Structure 1
Amino acid sequence: MRVLKFGGTSVASPENIQRVKDILENNKASRQAVVVSAFGGITDLLLNISEFAANQDESYKKGLEEIESRHIAAIKELIPIQKQSAILSKVKSDLNVLETLLEGSFLIGELTPKLSDKIVSYGELLSAFIISEYLKSQNLDATFKDSRELIVTDKNFGKASVNFSETNQNCSQYFEKSSQSITILPGFVASSLFGDSTTLGRGGSDYSAAIYAAALNAEVLEIWTDVSGMFTANPKLVKQAKSVSHISYEEAMELSHFGAKVLYPPTIQPVLDKGIPIVIKNTFAPQDTGTHISASANGTGKSVRGISHVDKITLISLEGPGMVGIPGISKRFFETLALGGISIVLITQASSEHSICVGISEEDAERAEEALNAAFAYEISIRKLKPVQVEKDLAIVALVGENMKSHQGLSGKMFSTLGKNNVNIRAIAQGASERNISAVIEKTDVKKALNSLHERFFEENIKQLNLFVMGVGNVGSRFLEQIKQQRNYIKKELKLNLRVIAISNSRTMFFDEEGISLKKWPELLSSGAPADTGQFFEKIKELNYRNSVFVDNTASDSIALTYPEYLKNSISVVTCNKIACSSDFDFYKELKSLSKKYNAPFLFETNVGAGLPIIDTLKHLIVSGDKVHKIQAVLSGSLNFVFNNFNDSTTFHDVVKQAQEEGYTEPDPTIDLSGIDVMRKILILARESGHQIDIEDITNDSFLPEESLQSDSNEAFFESLKKYESDFQQLYKEARDADTKLKYVAEFADGKAKIGLSQIPKGHDFYNLEGSDNVVLFFTERYPNQPLIIKGAGAGAEVTASGIFADIIRIGNF
């Protein structure tokens, strides 16, 4: 004997019911007891119209019409027309009784638990009858049996307790006499010893199936649903969740208790006692293996088997000095909740006995608060205890695994993973069996918590980074191209999964919560919403993704000022925008402080030297205990390009224009040629060396005429360069005559910084600096005479994009 149960989605439509028929027809078992739920959505509809009727709201009639329509339509589609008459007559008769019950509730304006059970039972009764008649019409050896004639319960309407002695006897006697291959049984419904209709609670069809399996000593209990087994996490929230092939009874109970919807928690107990295996299968993919639940998980050795969660949790806390060392406080606390019919989901108590904290369902919170405050009114009045504290809008996330007890450090890994993603833990519970570690968190953090934990325990340490990219011009577009090109390699070799969730330019912005296709991002961006930096940030905060990274490829002051908000929300910031780190020193320090406080990396390697590892090298020197005495550097790739290409056969104007067109300068070339860009870079290096310095403290010996410096547009700037060509030629001539080369040099020493155009003699480290290259000389305690030199391409969109990319990889490796 096999017992199969088909849930509401499996029988939600005639098409789905035909799938059920195919599964039963292909099942090799000689006899099958088949438990079915109500058609999908019908139970909720019955509950709703019951409430409407009790509230004397005539809209219950519309719901009743919908129920009738769905069942009649199913009969007409499933049953051959010549066999429909008797079936339609029976179903309409049942619907007439249902209508009478609802009319009675409407007239008296009341809905008792007993009446509610009778009304809601019609969902399963109608479903099971129609399905049995359909199977008969398809020449299957099938029959219908009313579960109310087999399963006996007490009179606790709404969630009745089963009388197993009577039930087992009824089931044995019926199936011994029955000869049909397939018996269709309505789930969820039962009856009391007095014959009143009762129900087994929501999810009770699973329980019905388990009751039959245990009573009949079935070889297996198959639960057919709309997913291929129990998953490592909720696949609706965690896209990478995987089906678990084998799991123990105890692990399955833990997962189902903590929100795994494919299995109703009480289901396991009846079959556990008999050692009957449970198999979770997918009605819509019957070929999938599904999940096999048994006494042993087949020695898979996996420590964590699943991650689950419970929504709508409220924490109730009782605390105060009057609890310490006073016997009976805990007893009164739990007794009060028990008498109020309030179920406790989670318990935690400090060893100091100063407080008790429990997690309960949100719907019970108000009753619990009133009951506890009343029970401890005297202690509260004399200030021995504080009034009950209530914290709402919470959820529980739980790690589950039979083998967790034999693996050290799992709780540490769990809590550190949540902490790194700024998921605040409000309470913790872990049983002595160590089969479950639970944490109470804000409900808004559930998706991020589940994905972070799943990534940590199930995804072969592949870390997902969610990127939000502001600025897709020269640098940004090349950055996106590099990600597209290297994404698979990065995932395979570095175990990093890079997803671009949002992109924005000055006109439009585009979000895709599943990741933007980088093959067609320009088209997607053009169809996006109007750009709004405030809304861009709010959307990132709302998504609340783990490992979120804001990438700023702009040169915008206003965007740089938003960095604190990102960091405060544990969103990492990677930027080539130098404004933030070269602005007021207090702002720079605030960003560094927020980065540490909220565990959100703030990286800006490309602020100095584009893709060169200058800042990273400097950080390593400082961290390892070295001290910087002096920095000499050529930090402007654009200026180096200009002076390497300028001579007496060219014009200064033409060379600067070429540098702008080839992307070596900022869109406004004045920023480069005035020395402002170099000032910012040497300022950042000085600050990263541990010195407090502002840009006003830097001496700038500019070579540009005042008219060029004061120009108010690019056109005016380039015109001024033509006007003063002779001055630029004179600078070149003086350097040539001295057998030197012109280089724009920045220097920091003795706490002071200066920049300016210098004549560099042969033999100097700067003399042979080619193209747009940068070079930095670090003179430190370890490198006092022969400096540590970093040299290479220091300008250009491609190398700047690669520097941004490198910072992203650094975050992935944190």
Structure 2
Amino acid sequence: MKVLKFGGTSVANAQNILLVEKIVKKESSENRVVVVVSALSGVTDGLISAAESASAKNENYSETIKTLEEKHLEFVKNLLPITEQSSWLSFVKKNFNDIEDICNGIYVLGEFTPRIKDKITAYGEFLSSNIIAAKLKSDGLDCVWLDSRNYIKTNSNFTDAKVNFETTNAALQTYFKENKQQITLAPGFIASDFDGNITTLGRGGSDFTASIIAAAMKAQELQIWTDVSGMMTADPRLVSNAKIIHKISYKEAMELSHFGAKVIYPPTIQPVMDKNIDLWIKNTFAEDDFGTLISHTKTENDNNVAVGISNLSKVALLTLEGSGMIGIPGVSAKLFQCLSQEKINVILITQSSSEHSITVAINESDVEKAEKALNYAFEDDLKLHKIDPVKVEKSLAIIALVGENMKSRSGVSAKLFGGLGNNGVNVRAIAQGSSEKNISVVISDKDVKKAVNVLHEEFFESEIKQVHLYICGVGNVGSKLIQQIYSQNKYLNDNLLMNLRVAGLTNSTKMVFNDQGIQEEEFKDALHNGESSTPHKFAEEIINRNLRNSVFVDVTANAKVVDIYEDLLKKSVSVVACNKIAASSNYENYKNLKNSAKNHNCNFFFETNVGAGLPIIGTINDLMRSGDKITSIQAVLSGTLNFVFNNYDGSSTFSEVVRQAQKEGFTEPDPRLDLAGTDVARKILILAREAGYQLQFDEIENEAFLPAKCMEGSVEDFYQSMTEYEEHFRKLLEEAKAEGKILKYVADFKDGKAKVGLQKISPESDLYHLYGKDNIVIFKTLRYSEQPLVVKGAGAGAEVTASGVFADIVRSV
């Protein structure tokens, strides 16, 4: 014998019933089968809604009943031959008249008791099973309808009745011994107590009915037919890459289902597990899919540490604590007895080793009742201040990582907590059974999607790490960066096991988001059609989306964008900044940002602040980490100024050379930011700070070479002033030539002091042979005291700057 159960979606309409019939025919061709069915999709909720409306004196309950009646009448008309419809249409009408009578009574009394709830919800399965049985018999199948209420006996705990297995098993065995039909069709969910009152089996009751029958008859197997192809490694509504679990043990399945895996419910597993009956989860709409086999055997792949992740939302924590609990026996027993008397289910338990506190997780809907009951039970202790009032935390969720192989592997907990910590997911409570099949953590409800995806990536998708990028600034450098990301992503996938996804973009006025990634060819149009943006609105949206492995990329020179760095870092969003304002701001702010990144397990990188794509800051960091100390830095740090002085030879005016530099994209929109030395001063400040020196910007000596008048007015006024002062610039050039030297704008740091200014450089200097827009940094350290360490290369240009930002992004994750 096989037992087949079909859920609400499988019997939702006549078309689906044809699929059910096909499966039943196939299975019954070689075996006797018992078919258990749920109510039509949405009917149970509809019946409860009608009754609740009636109890609230809302006359709309009649309309709800009428809608449900029409659903069943249409079901009969679409399913049965017209010659057989009359009696079944009357059957439906009679039962809905009874339903309306019950609701009328509820309306009059204004009372909807658990006993009445069971009576009215039982109609869902009663109606669907009778009509489906009629369909099978009409098509010539050897089918009989079995009234589950007459054979499954329970106590009188209405809405969640407990089965008396001894009586139930005997009744079912007697029935099937006396009745030999090939197909027996029974309603799920419903039963009766020993006084004949209708009871129901609680959440997942139809599955439980099928399991009870399978265990009683020692069936060959139990098949649960639903609308998915088996249990999955995580909720597919949260994790797009969730995978089917093809084989899983009973205990693993129970753990997953206990913490929210809704494909199957824990009570279903127990009866068949006790009798060692295989349980299959199959898809009615894809019957050839393998599905999930639940049995005593080991999991399919013994190399996997875990088999799945489940999550349960709308959870609350109750914490009882106080010095009067230490060493006092019976406190825990009193707590659990109190909750038991109030019929409150405890989902998770954790207790401090000092016995100073005990925490339990319950459904959020039970909080008010539980808090009141516990404070009453411990009233005397509260008055004596031995125990504090019950502490309640709401809006929480439980994430459970499940797998029998976890007990034989070290580092599982470290991997779990490391993944959550690196993504800013705060763990409020932890529970791990001694069997080590399950590690459960309580987190904020708003972090569920991120947490489940993080853990799924850690334990089931370790080959590829998904990174979400939010890019602020899509100008010259930003556009080049986006191009590089898309062109290089396949390499990152293949070689670094990383996938970069541009999940958000913003410019000065608009922003656009897509969790699945904004495509390269559409990002300009998408941004143009995006919603209005400010830096703070962009940051708020990043935080609200709360995606794992998030990186914010600032490719602007906007001071307002810098203001959002700390908010993002505190949410464990790494920051990669091309913008040098933050790292060159007040020292306390610079240090605070670095500490925020460290304290929240994320990164704050800004390599391109100094030398575009050159590894200058990275070199300093490596030297410092290895125990070296930087004693001096001499550098040409402005690609703009180097280009200008390399090209200013007297054949063109200084103004013309600067215009050429701006035209080729080497300068800021206002070239004075480069020529005034402010930019270079910021860069040497950043290098000094990274080398471990507490230096402020106003402590840097700046020897200006531009006449003061050049700094006045607009950019065009600036160019006009430079033309007027051409003789000044030519004199600087001629004096250098006369000494056999060239002009370079140089930054120096030594003995804790920094200065920037125009210098005459002789041919023997490392700075002399520096061409085009190249930068050079010369480090002297304790180890590189005689022969300095030199970093040299292109220090400006959109392509190389974008590549430097790109490198920081890769390092940040």
Q: TM class by shorter-chain length?
A: over 0.9
User: Structure 1 residues 137, 535: CA separation in 2 closer, same or farther (over 3 Å shift)?
Assistant: farther
Partner of 2:16: 16
Cα distance, 1:46 vs structure 2: 1.1
Q: CA offsets per residue over residues 149-187 of structure 1, 9 Å max, x none?
A: 332222221111112223223323333444443332211
1:26 deviates by: 4.0
Supply the distance in 2 between the matched residues of 1:808 and 1:143 (Cα, whole angstroms). 66
Matched with 2:158 is 157
Q: Which residue of 2 aligns with 1:183?
A: 184
- Give the structure 1 partner of residue 414 of structure 2: 412
Deviation string 1:223-259 (CA, Å, 9 cap, x unpaired) is: 1122221111111112221111110000000000010
1:772 matches 2:773 = yes
Residues 250, 273 of structure 2: 8 Å contact kept: yes
Q: Which amino acid aligns with 1:433?
A: S
Deviations 1:117-146 (A, max 9, x none): 110011111222222233344444444322
Deviation per residue, 1:67-117 (Å, 9 max, x gap) = 112112222223333332222121111111111111111122212222111
1:646 aligns with 2:616: no
| Aligned match of 1:37 | 38
What CA distance in whole angstroms lies between the structure 1 residues aligned with 2:26 and 2:662?
A: 73
Give deviations 1:570-620, integer Å, cap 9, x for gaps.
111111000011111111111111111112210001101011110011011
Task: Check conservation: 2:248, 2:300, Cα contact below 8 A.
Answer: no
8 Å Cα contact 1:51-1:111 kept in structure 2: yes
Match of 1:595 in 2: 597
Q: Distance in 2 between matches of 1:563 and 1:735?
A: 44
State the alpha-carbon separation in 1 of the partners of residues 178 and 330 from structure 2. Answer: 56
Kindly indicate whether the alpha-carbon contact (under 8 Å) linking 1:277 and 1:292 is maintained by their aligned counterparts in 2: yes
* 1:370-389 deviation digits (Å, cap 9, x = unpaired): 11111111111111111111
Structure 1 residue matching 2:792: 3-state secondary structure:
strand
Q: Which moved more, 1:213-222 or 1:295-304?
A: 295-304
CA distance in 2, matches of 1:304, 1:702: 65
Letter in 2 for 1:490: L
1:396 aligns with 2:370: no
Question: Match of 1:222?
Answer: 223
1:505 aligned residue: 507
Determine if contact 1:252/1:293 at 8 Å carries over to the other structure.
yes
Within 5 Å, give how 1:441-480 maps onto structure 2.
Answer: 441-480=443-482
Match of 1:333 in 2: 335
Alpha-carbon distance between aligned partners in 1 of 2:551 and 2:382, rounded to the nearest angstrom:
48
- In the TM superposition, what are the counterparts of 1:676-715 in structure 2 within 5 Å? 676-711=678-713, 713-715=714-716
User: What is the Cα deviation at residue 740 of structure 1?
Assistant: 2.2
CA RMSD of aligned residues (A): 1.7
Tell me how far apart the structure 1 counterparts of residues 519 and 300 of structure 2 sit (CA, whole Å): 41
Whole-angstrom CA distance in 2 between matches of 1:502 and 1:319: 45
Is 1:2–1:29's contact at 8 Å kept on the other side of the alignment?
no
The offset of 1:714, in angstroms, is: 2.4
Structure 2 equivalent of residue 5 of structure 1: 5
1:429-458 Cα deviation digits (max 9, x unpaired): 111111111111111111111111111111
C-alpha contact 2:470 2:553 (8 A) present in aligned 1: yes
Q: Is the 8 A contact 1:147 1:185 kept in 2?
A: yes
Deviation digits for residues 170-221 of structure 1, max 9, x if unmatched?
A: 3233334444433322111112233221110021011011111112222111
Give structure 1 stretches of 5+ with no counterpart: none
Q: What is the aligned partner in structure 2 of residue 634 from structure 1? A: 636
- Report the alpha carbon displacement of residue 400 of structure 1 after superposing the two structures with TM: 0.8
Unmatched segments (≥5 aa) in structure 2 = none
Does the 8 Å contact 2:153/2:163 carry over to 1?
yes
Tell me which amino acid in the other structure corresponds to 1:235: P
* Whole-angstrom distance in 1 between the partners of 2:707 and 2:430: 68
With over 3 angstroms needed to count, the CA separation of the structure-2 counterparts of 1:177 and 1:650, relative to structure 1, is farther
- TM superposition score normalised by structure 2: 0.97
1:48-447 map, 5 Å: 48-298=49-299, 300-301=301-302, 302-447=304-449
CA distance in 2, matches of 1:662, 1:141: 86
Distance in 1, matches of 2:610 and 2:140, equals 79
Which letter maps to 2:325?
M
SS of the residue aligned with 2:568?
helix
Hey, what does 2:545 align to over in structure 1? 543
Distance 1:636 1:4 in 2: 75
For 1:84 and 1:655, locate their aligned partners in 2 and report how far apart those are by CA, in whole Å: 93
Aligned to 2:568: 566
Kindly state the Cα deviation for residue 461 of structure 1 after the two structures are TM-superposed: 4.5
Gap change, CA 1:260 and 1:654, over 3 Å in 2: same
Q: CA deviation at 1:266?
A: 0.3
Structure-2 residue corresponding to 1:585: 587
CA gap of 1:515–1:16, structure 2 versus 1, over 3 A, is farther
Aligned-partner SS, 1:777: strand
Q: Deviations over 1:393-442 (max 9, x none)?
A: 11111111112111112122212222222221221111111111111111
| Kept in 2: contact 1:773–1:795 (CA 8 A) | yes
Q: Structure 1 residues 124-133 or 429-438, which shifts more?
A: 124-133
Aligned to 1:758: 759
Residues 554 and 579 of structure 2 are in contact (CA less than 8 Å); yes or no, is this contact kept in structure 1?
yes
**Secondary structure of the equivalent of 1:612?**
coil
1:17-72 deviations in Å (ceiling 9; x for gaps): 33323333444643322211112211111111111112222111121111112112
SS in 2 for 1:509: strand
Given that 1:188 and 1:203 are in contact with CA atoms closer than 8 Å, whether structure 2 keeps it comes out as yes
Structure 1 runs of 4+ off > 6 angstroms? none
For residues 723-778 of structure 1, give each alpha carbon's deviation from its aligned partner in whole angstroms, at most 9, with x where no partner exists.
33333333333333333222111111111111112222213211121221111000
Write the mapping of 1:587-626 to structure 2, written as runs, cut at 5 A: 587-626=589-628
Q: Which stretch of the first structure deviates more once superposed, 691-700 or 458-467?
A: 458-467
1:397–1:450 CA contact under 8 A, matched in 2:
yes
| Residue 297 (structure 1) shift | 2.4
Residues 13/522 of structure 1: CA separation in 2 closer, same or farther (3 Å cut)? farther
Q: 2:57 aligns to what SS in structure 1?
A: coil
The answer for the alignment partner of 2:742 in structure 1 is 741
Per the alignment, do residues 62 and 780 of structure 1 end up closer, same or farther by CA in structure 2, a change over 3 Å counting? same
In 1: Cα distance, 2:23 partner to 2:666 partner: 67
Kindly tell me: are residues 483 and 196 of structure 1, through their superposed partners in 2, closer, same or farther at Cα, counting changes over 3 Å? same
8 Å Cα contact 1:281-1:290 kept in structure 2: yes
1:11 match: secondary structure: coil
- Please give the per-residue CA displacement for 1:507-531, whole angstroms capped at 9, x wherever unaligned: 2100112222223111111111011
1:40 counterpart SS class: coil
1:315–1:493 CA distance, 2 compared to 1 (3 A):
same
CA distance in 2, matches of 1:570, 1:213: 50
2:555 paired with 1:553:
yes
Identity %: 53
Per mean C-alpha deviation after superposition, the further-off stretch among 667-676 and 547-556 is 667-676
Structure 1's 623 and 150: CA in aligned 2 closer, same or farther, altered over 3 A?
A: same
Whole-angstrom CA distance in 2 between matches of 1:164 and 1:138: 35
What letter is aligned with 1:3? V
Indicate yes or no: 2:808 matched with 1:807.
Answer: yes
Q: What secondary structure sits across from 1:805 in the alignment?
A: helix
